[in-house]
């Protein structure tokens, strides 16, 4: 996903679509059909997860301060058959997981955000999971999600900042559906345990 001049460019299966999200009378985003998965949506190669049976809140926590990226990313994740919850910055992601006790299979986090950037939030989340594992008790067997950084900065320093903070992997924007599908499939089949 990339953006410029209020438009968003989303690449899905090698095809690029330009989106110009609209606002309704209340000022809320109106999802164009190409963002919601109603038009041209590929069939999912995965079976939707039974989150309640596994104790998951959702398959993916998508963290980005750009609402258009959240909308397009959420639509792509849902089209692949996975559930998604969003957070608008690193601070909210840390709060949702650390204080809220919510459980995810994968955390996909942008780098440059207000209040708390991606690498700082990633470092705090990694510390939270390590501390939780040390405490034992009820939370001992809760799976640790894959922590994935994603950034529009193609320089090595951006990726390294995420890796140094504890990310399992870093991907470069625009978010490719095939990369997302591979990450979700991997997270589903080989959930990590601390």
Mean pLDDT of 125-151: 77
In this predicted structure, what is the pLDDT of residue 9?
Answer: 53
Lowest mean pLDDT among 5-9, 110-114, 144-148: 5-9
Give pTM, 2 decimals: 0.69
pLDDT per residue as tens digits for the range 60-108: 999 999 999 999 999 999 998 889 999 999 999 999 998 777 889 899 9
Q: Tokens at residue 186, please? A: 């991997």
Q: How far apart are alpha carbons 39 and 119 in whole angstroms?
A: 35
Q: Considering Cα of 29, then 100, then 95, then 72, what sign does the dihedral take? A: negative
With tokens 């990633």, the residue in question is 122
Q: What pLDDT, on the 0 to 100 scale, is given for residue 38?
A: 31
Q: Residues 165-176: pLDDT tens digits?
A: 999 999 988 888
What average pLDDT does range 134-147 have in this prediction?
68
- Domains observed in the chain: 2-12+55-189 (3.40.50.2300)
**Interatomic CA distance for residues 58 and 148, integer angstroms:** 16
Task: Give the pLDDT confidence score for residue 152 in this predicted structure.
Answer: 87
User: In whole angstroms, what is the distance from residue 92 CA to residue 39 CA?
Assistant: 31
Sign of CA dihedral 118, 120, 121, 125: positive
């Amino acid at each position: 996903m990339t953006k410029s001049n209020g438009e968003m460019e989303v690449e899905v299966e090698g095809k690029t679509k330009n989106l110009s999200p609209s606002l309704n009378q209340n000022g809320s985003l109106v999802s164009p059909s190409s963002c919601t998965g109603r038009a041209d949506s590929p069939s999912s190669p995965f079976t939707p997860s039974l989150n309640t049976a596994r104790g998951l809140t959702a398959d993916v926590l998508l963290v980005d301060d750009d609402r258009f990226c959240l909308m397009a990313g959420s639509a792509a994740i849902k089209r692949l058959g996975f559930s998604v919850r969003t957070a608008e910055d690193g601070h909210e992601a840390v709060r949702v997981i650390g204080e809220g006790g919510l459980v995810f299979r994968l955390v996909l986090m942008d780098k440059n955000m207000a209040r708390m950037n991606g690498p700082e939030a990633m470092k705090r989340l990694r510390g939270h999971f390590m501390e939780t594992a040390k405490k034992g008790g009820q939370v001992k067997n809760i799976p640790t999600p894959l922590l994935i950084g994603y950034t529009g900065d193609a320089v090595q320093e951006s990726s390294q900042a995420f890796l140094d903070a504890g990310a399992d992997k870093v991907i470069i924007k625009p978010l490719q559906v095939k990369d997302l599908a591979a990450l979700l499939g991997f997270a589903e089949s080989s959930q990590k345990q601390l």
